[in-house]
């Protein structure tokens, strides 16, 4: 954990070396990276929980396996959509930055 924190501080120092517009761009890059990391972590936890619950439900009642699998895929699509929304916001912040007015 200390190594990760050290690397984050080292990269942040390099990213914040400029002034003015480059500072806004540096903050945008940092925010995009952190946002995507948190979104991916949350999506992975949600997908793992969904898969575990589906497997447990199928083990308890094998006859419901098909319905559970269909419901699981719908839930996984909704979970993944949240991560994709975060990716879109990050790309907007990086390439069409509204803060560089």
For 27-73, the pLDDT digits (tens) are 788 888 888 999 999 999 999 999 999 999 999 999 999 999 999 99
Whether residue 101 is predicted with pLDDT greater than 70 in this model: the reply is no
Break the chain into its structural domains and give their ranges.
Answer: 23-95
In the DSSP assignment, the letter for residue 62 is G
Task: Compute and round to an integer the Cα radius of gyration of the chain.
Answer: 20
* Vertex 76: Cα angle to 73 and 77 (nearest 5): 90
Q: Using CA atoms, how far apart are residues 45 and 34, in angstroms rounded to an integer? A: 17
Protein fold of 23-95: F1FO ATP Synthase (1.20.20)
Q: Using CA atoms, how far apart are residues 5 and 33, in angstroms rounded to an integer? A: 14
Say whether pTM exceeds 0.75: no
Termini Cα distance of the chain: 38
Give residue 17's pLDDT band: very low, low, confident or very high (50, 70, 90). low
Q: Using CA atoms, how far apart are residues 37 and 78, in angstroms rounded to an integer? A: 18
């Amino acid at each position: 954990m200390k190594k990760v924190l050290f690397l984050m501080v080292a990269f942040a120092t390099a990213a914040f070396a400029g002034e003015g517009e480059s500072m806004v761009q540096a903050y945008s890059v940092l925010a995009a990276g952190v946002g995507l990391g948190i979104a991916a972590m949350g999506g992975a936890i949600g997908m793992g929980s969904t898969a575990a619950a589906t497997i447990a439900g199928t083990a308890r009642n094998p006859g419901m396996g098909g319905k559970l699998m269909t419901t699981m895929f719908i839930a996984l699509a909704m979970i993944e959509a949240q991560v994709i929304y975060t990716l879109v916001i990050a790309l907007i912040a990086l390439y069409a930055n509204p803060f560089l007015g």
